Structure 1
């Protein structure tokens, strides 16, 4: 997809004062006083020069249309050069490019060997002034695309990310950065806020990596568990490991498992998608032994996903967000979390889709209209083996299709929440409550099962005095399907983040349940 870059308001003035005037000063010295203004540098850069540039440097050709429009607007003259050389902001841009690692990106401008001498080895710059200016302009567009847009929409779609992509307003962005001669976003407003939080922890984890990371914990193949009171060399290793990432505030180097260590381990488990326990298991050791380099990759991948999200999303007064790897749903109201529920998401073979919709209806005591895929794969084989299969499952034929009657045995439970979409995905209750006790909750056919559906309905209807909790309970247990249309639609965003900094500033890691991280990290780190 072609990215539309701005016709920026590059307010760069190239006026240089020189002392070549032969006018007299107030004491009559003819060559000593008035100063002549050297003519402003004007280097014509027209469409022919731009076309020739891209013939020589074809790897940058995707920027050609935008570059042409930019120079045309600015009078078809240079943007980055004056009589002294490169204007200061050009050097600022280059320094930001050289610091792309801080943004979780590799510095791989297609013509790095040409751009570097312009700033670092000036005597080695063999480019003409025209090509020098054009090369810097292309560096600007390259930087803006990499940092503020990320991979193109076609690529993110191929990675099955169907949430609406952020549409960067490059006009506003460029006007701001060039007016202040900086690319820094001091008020952190240009990106989804999670991006900045992950960027901060990336810096922290890179510092840990520079210091050698953390040591592996060796418990042996026959290890079962550690509990309070146990003593082992590995316990001191666990203590040291938790001190590195901050779950343990002080490391007394004790080899005895005590309540302080158990509490620190519980904190670690909570922020790594685990159910906290009073014992330390092999699965916890495996999690602790994930190398810091792998954690850094996970942070980088999720920074990229943040580039795709419009920061305006967070300004909504009310919306629902579901994070698939976290197995959790949040209702955000007035920028605060007003409701949280565990969820069950799709199995690896029937993945929950990453997309968004607008919730418009709540259905109480719903029928379940069985998808044809399930009829073919499960119901027909079941009927072939058992003539009473439909009755036992509370299923019935309905105009050539199959549906399940309302009630406590219904696969959708007692309520469902609809946001129309082509994927036929919605939120719903379930009679299979025990699944919410699992750490890994990928069991559904694709829809999102909610652990606390009654409470969610109450929250969504709390501003409608007619829908009291008692009335909601009655509708859920009526045994007859009834629909309620929300007075105001509620946005629903189903996302996929394996690293997330929560509102308390704690970094959380979640299992890559659909194995989506690896393909994205390859895209971001390939030469």
Structure 2
């Protein structure tokens, strides 16, 4: 979930902007021109703390002088099918400010009125669909009333309507662009992280209270969302330049020092993406190309070897329209997450196969993980970590018991002894002499568990955040899997490359557990539970982002491991 923003120019009435029905790539081209976000010098972070909103208590002197007639407001809302859904929010907003205007000050439209109109005009709803967001009547009314640098005729009867329409349209816009899909839609897409809660009345009050500057610095969205929006515009600019010939894919690998026409094509695309600093049309594989390829491979999640492989060519050949849609899909997910998480927490990004460790909202370190394979996918959810278990037993899960362990025992009676496993009752009493031929996975009355030790599938430590999905973090004896590029091998739980470092981090505030004691407990061969104190129970977020911006400001793209992008794209782009 990671990073921050600039200001937008005031809307110019003499340059009316007209939105047409355009394809996705053209809409994306318009997107973000007023909302670019700076990104240098920040840690790679799917989430960082956003700017705090103003909590100033307004006095009557802070309000604009004009007031909205409550009867006129009710009549306006009751007659509008577009804004009827937001009627209560609009009424509540005006009631809290004693019905004082929000957008018109004496004889002048406020700067924030222009900024909001500008935002709506240039923002195609970021994949939510544009229906209702570009309101022709609102734009015409704004341009007709404020014809001279925002000056208005105080006696113009249309001002009240414009005032009410701007406020109502804000709630519509905020719901679509900053709120995103409904919670039910998210759950249908296997997303079980609780949605952020938005008080849009407070957001609006904070935004209009600013005397200058754009809305974007106060947007109630995660900072990674802003970074992706910036990257979206960059891709749209690249596509507009239009030099994207498909590169022929060959089984042969092209290495440093070789010559090939493919090299010049690869250089062209890498230069456009920013991986290759200087334009170079030669067909020679140069040291600069080697560095550019390594950069591209790293941010695409490919094997980093500085060679032109089929995987590299395939990644370069993905149409930019597809890449932009991938960004839009992930921006939709980022609408759902907290805008400003703080404190300590752990974040697993499934498509990146990474665990990120945060302290006070900032990235402290990260490491590789192995996640569930398709068909045994890792669930997207969040819970608080409550236990660290050293030298753990592994209780074989029902699915693995039925499909793997029991069939193996029936084939080979010595299987349990070879794998250091035992049969126990629910209370942990060891059972011997079991006739396995009588049972299937569904009627097996006991637990099969693997004793602590070198063969234990959970390794030397596991980290529990109790949940209904029976998913947790743990060590593994299969260390070689962390070197794989695509690391979806488990049955759903998450294997951690640096479990001892994680144990030290989780217990760093507990004076009882120093590094030596943790190391000893991991190698004791005897299971030991450590319950975390309340303030040490860090949240664990299991997330799914195939597009994100890293600490170097680079756009990272990953494969859609479980097909979640494809499902969400069907909903987002159904009307395109």
TM-score class normalised by the smaller sequence? 0.7 to 0.9
CA contact (8 A) 1:368 1:403 kept: yes
1:291 aligns with 2:319: yes
**How many angstroms apart in 1 are the aligned matches of 2:298 and 2:315?**
12
Q: Which residue of 1 aligns with 2:34?
A: none
**How many angstroms apart in 2 are the aligned matches of 1:456 and 1:174?**
41
Deviations 1:485-504 (A, max 9, x none): 23411221111111111122
Q: Which residue of 2 aligns with 1:271?
A: 299
Q: Which residue of 2 aligns with 1:494?
A: 542
**How many angstroms apart in 2 are the aligned matches of 1:88 and 1:263?**
46
Q: Give the SS at the match of 1:348.
A: coil
**How many angstroms apart in 2 are the aligned matches of 1:336 and 1:144?**
27
1:227 aligns with 2:227: no
Q: Which residue of 2 aligns with 1:326?
A: 352
CA contact (8 A) 2:171 2:200 kept: no
Number of residue pairs matched by the alignment: 486
Deviations 1:399-443 (A, max 9, x none): 122211111111111110111122211100112222112111111
Q: Which residue of 2 aligns with 1:460?
A: 506
1:193 aligns with 2:199: no
Corresponding residue to 1:66 among 89, 93, 97: 89
Give the superposed CA RMSD: 3.1
**How many angstroms apart in 2 are the aligned matches of 1:341 and 1:510?**
17
CA contact (8 A) 2:63 2:97 kept: no
> Superposition pairs for residues 219-258 of structure 1, below 5 Å?
219=249, 222-258=250-286
Q: Which residue of 2 aligns with 1:5?
A: none
> Superposition pairs for residues 125-164 of structure 1, below 5 Å?
134-164=164-194
**How many angstroms apart in 2 are the aligned matches of 1:428 and 1:80?**
55
Moved more, 363-372 or 452-461: 452-461
Moved more, 191-200 or 456-465: 456-465
1:406 aligns with 2:486: no
**How many angstroms apart in 2 are the aligned matches of 1:494 and 1:190?**
22
Corresponding residue to 1:387 among 413, 416, 421: 413
**How many angstroms apart in 1 are the aligned matches of 2:97 and 2:378?**
48
Corresponding residue to 1:101 among 105, 124, 127: 124
Change (3 A) 1:12 1:93: farther
CA contact (8 A) 2:228 2:548 kept: yes
Moved more, 458-467 or 365-374: 458-467
Q: Give the SS at the match of 1:350.
A: coil
**How many angstroms apart in 2 are the aligned matches of 1:472 and 1:129?**
69
Change (3 A) 1:389 1:525: same
Change (3 A) 1:83 1:470: closer
Change (3 A) 1:502 1:195: same
TM-score, normalised with respect to structure 2: 0.76
Q: Give the SS at the match of 1:271.
A: helix
Q: Which residue of 2 aligns with 1:21?
A: none
1:506 aligns with 2:549: no
Q: Give the SS at the match of 1:226.
A: coil
Q: Which residue of 2 aligns with 1:45?
A: 71
**How many angstroms apart in 2 are the aligned matches of 1:154 and 1:348?**
23
Change (3 A) 1:120 1:293: farther
1:485 aligns with 2:513: no
Question: How far did residue 218 of structure 1 move?
Answer: 2.1
Deviations 1:94-144 (A, max 9, x none): 32111213856543217845444434578xxxx988766554433111111
Q: Give the SS at the match of 1:218.
A: coil
Moved more, 144-153 or 278-287: 144-153
Larger Rg: 1
**How many angstroms apart in 2 are the aligned matches of 1:169 and 1:44?**
22
1:448 aligns with 2:494: yes
Corresponding residue to 1:312 among 334, 337, 340: 340
CA contact (8 A) 1:45 1:78 kept: no
Q: Give the SS at the match of 2:265.
A: helix
Which consecutive residues of structure 1, in runs of 5 or more, have no partner in the other structure?
A: 1-7, 15-39
Change (3 A) 1:413 1:254: same
CA contact (8 A) 1:44 1:76 kept: yes
Moved more, 399-408 or 321-330: 399-408
1:280 aligns with 2:303: no
CA contact (8 A) 1:239 1:253 kept: yes
